[in-house]
Structure 1
Amino acid sequence: MATTTKDGVSLHYETTGDGPTVVFLNDIGYGAWLWGWHHDAIAGPYEALVWDLRGTGDSDAPSGAYSVQTLAADLEAILADHGVRSAHLVGAGLGGMVALQYAHEYNRARTLTLYNTAADGGDIDADALDSLALDNGPERSLDGAFSPQFREAAPDLVDRIVGWREAEDATGDAFAAQAAAMTDFSAPPLYEVTQPAEVYYGVDDPVVPTAAAESLAADLPRGSAEAVEGRHLSFVEYATAVTDRLVAFLDEYAAE
């Protein structure tokens, strides 16, 4: 594990594996557990870097407003601290917004993989977003994240997810600050985000409408869109298929 500091805020990150760096950017409120399935598929031929957004896990939770621009600056501090010159960014929801902002503002992003992400916070269903908060109770907070079919088929896994959430996830003011960052976001000019980009979206995601994700992919010069069954964490529900696609995408561009 490692820690760096940005404007007095301590930021925690961990790396595993060797090779080109793949950075995982958490969705609103969620801790690093979110990437456990992807991490196992990536670490080895790639270096997997997972970090706790401010307000989450072992990173500090400063009071006051957050913004996507602030979180992108946090990411730049982490990559500079770790000596990363080029990175593939994999972000979900809020993390996808951070990836978009970072790719436009800084020069280390090589590719973008975006899960359940919108280019404008005004497209987000604010009530559905708030329902994801752990403060609503472990069971209710999973309603918008996972389909009933997933939860019924894997109750033991769902129990473990609840435990991971209680140990790592943002709550209270920290969750609210991240939610505000997400709903206040307006993407930079997408025609200037020229990295290869793949956008995946859950067909039953109550937080990010299908039209918003498809519009994001269409407006990225090198973007493509792929529908995935499931809700806001559809990339976890269908982790095997999604990670297979991610590895193929990374392999295509890592050699360049």
Structure 2
Amino acid sequence: MPRADNAGVSIRYEVDAPDAGDADEAVVFCGDVGLGAWQFGWQHAALAGPHTVVTPETRGVGRSDAPPGPYAVEALASDIDAVCADAGIRNAHVVGYGLGGMVGLAYALASSRPASLTVVGTPPSGASYNSEGVWADPSAPAAVEGSLRGLLSESFRETHPDVLSRITDWRLGEDADRETFEAHRAAVEGFDVSGRLYEITTPTLVVHGAADAVCPLTAAETLTDGLPRGESLVVEDARHLVGVEASAAVNDALAGWLAEHADDPFAE
């Protein structure tokens, strides 16, 4: 599988549907704090094929290198840029979850490569993000299963117990250990673009669960209002893993968003 080098840090990534759409344009996923690549499954299934999809493993997670922390969002953004350069991606439609959304915002400030952003459960400042609400010790099955009570709504948990079982298995096998989680959390805590939102002219879709206990809805509203080209999708009753429990609505919005902003004439 391909790897990109960023100043000696090796980032593993996968490319799916490489012949879809323009050869140098792709959807690029950016992951949440401490979570494995399983988090992308619901949107990946909908987007790969209509689009080329690039899935990096965040530094410290999976088979990417795990240099000592703490990490910074800017470093994680430079990892994504290294992946895009290695894969020959000129226009990246970045889809970021939580910390990954922060990475997308920082990337748009640093580079003209992002053609659009979709940020899910993302604030303009890490001060509004409860990283501990995402954490579950991947060596403790009961803790992992219990963490889903805060990440998915009660109604979803009651009607989709099979999904909960699969997510638990994936988290046990793919999520970061505590050391990497703390390195990711440091990146969250050091992140703040609330005073620079007016500089992010990249079109940005802000997706949020109205009942998100990790990142409050007010933070998403502040983010949308501050972005020159921000639009929002709020899903009532959904929690932080809104892309899981409301995958149909999120995927429909993403498909429309990408259709609108592919080859965006306003992109730099």
> What TM-score, normalized by structure 2, do the two folds share?
0.91
> Which secondary structure state, in structure 2, belongs to the residue aligned with residue 177 of structure 1?
helix
2:203 to 193, 196, 209: 196
* 2:79 aligned with 1:70: no
Letter in 2 for 1:155: P
Structure 2 match to 1:172 = 178
1:158 aligns with 2:192: no
Q: Is the alpha carbon distance of 1:148 and 1:66 closer, same or farther for their aligned partners in structure 2, counting shifts above 3 Å?
A: same
Q: Which residue of 1 aligns with 2:90?
A: 85
Alpha-carbon displacement from aligned partner over 1:27-86 (angstroms, at most 9, x marks no partner): 111111111111111111210111111111111111121010110111111111111111
Question: Residue 11 of structure 1 aligns with which residue?
Answer: 11
- 2:123 touches 2:129 (CA, 8 Å); kept in 1? yes
* Structure-2 residue corresponding to 1:120: 125
Match of 1:223? 230
Q: What is the aligned partner in structure 2 of residue 239 from structure 1?
A: 247
Quote the Cα distance in structure 2 between the aligned partners of 1:214 and 1:13. Answer: 32
Is the 1:131–1:140 contact (alpha carbons within 8 Å) kept by the matching residues of 2?
Answer: no
Name the counterpart of 2:218.
Answer: 211
Question: Which secondary structure does the structure 2 equivalent of 1:163 belong to?
Answer: helix
Asked if the contact 1:133–1:171 (Cα under 8 Å) also holds between the matched residues in 2, the reply is: no
The question of whether the paired residues in 1 share the 8 Å contact of 2:14 and 2:56 is answered with yes
1:205 match: secondary structure: coil
Asked whether 1:138 is paired with 2:144, we answer yes
Question: Contact between 1:68 and 1:97, CA under 8 Å: does it hold in 2?
Answer: yes
Q: Kindly indicate whether the alpha-carbon contact (under 8 Å) linking 2:134 and 2:214 is maintained by their aligned counterparts in 1.
A: no
Q: What is the aligned-residue identity percentage?
A: 44
Q: Secondary structure at the match of 2:102?
A: helix
Q: How many angstroms does 1:140 deviate by?
A: 2.2
CA distance in 2, matches of 1:226, 1:39: 19
Alpha-carbon RMSD: 1.3
Q: Distance in 2 between matches of 1:249 and 1:224?
A: 10
Please, which of 49, 53, 64 is the counterpart of residue 44 of structure 1?
49
Residues in 2 aligned to 1:61 and 1:245: alpha-carbon distance in whole angstroms: 34
Return the alpha-carbon distance in structure 2 between the equivalents of residues 211 and 131 of structure 1: 17
Whole-Å separation in 2 of the counterparts to 1:98 and 1:16: 22
**Structure 2 counterpart SS, 1:204:** coil
2:42 matches 1:34: no
**1:5: Cα distance to partner?**
1.8
**How many Å apart are 1:162 and its aligned residue?**
0.8
Which residues of structure 1 form unaligned runs of 5+?
none
Q: 1:59 aligns to what?
A: 64
Counterpart of 1:107 in structure 2 is 112
**Residues 133 and 214, structure 2, Cα contact 8 Å, conserved in 1:** no
Corresponding letter in the other structure for 2:215: V
Instruction: Specify every segment of 5 or more residues in structure 2 that has no aligned partner in the other structure, as ranges.
Output: none
- Equivalent residue of 1:111, what SS? strand
Once the two structures are TM-superposed, the CA of residue 180 in structure 1 deviates from its matched residue by 1.4
Q: How many residues align?
A: 253
What is the letter of the counterpart of residue 179 of structure 2? D
CA distance in 2, matches of 1:122, 1:6: 28
How far is the alpha carbon of 1:255 from its aligned partner?
4.7
Q: Distance in 1 between matches of 2:51 and 2:3?
A: 21
Cα distance in structure 1, aligned partners of 2:234 and 2:241:
12
Structure-2 separation of matches of 1:58 and 1:230: 31
Task: After superposing the two structures, state which structure 1 stretch, 141-150 or 154-163, moved more.
Answer: 141-150
Q: 1:96 aligns with which of 89, 95, 101?
A: 101
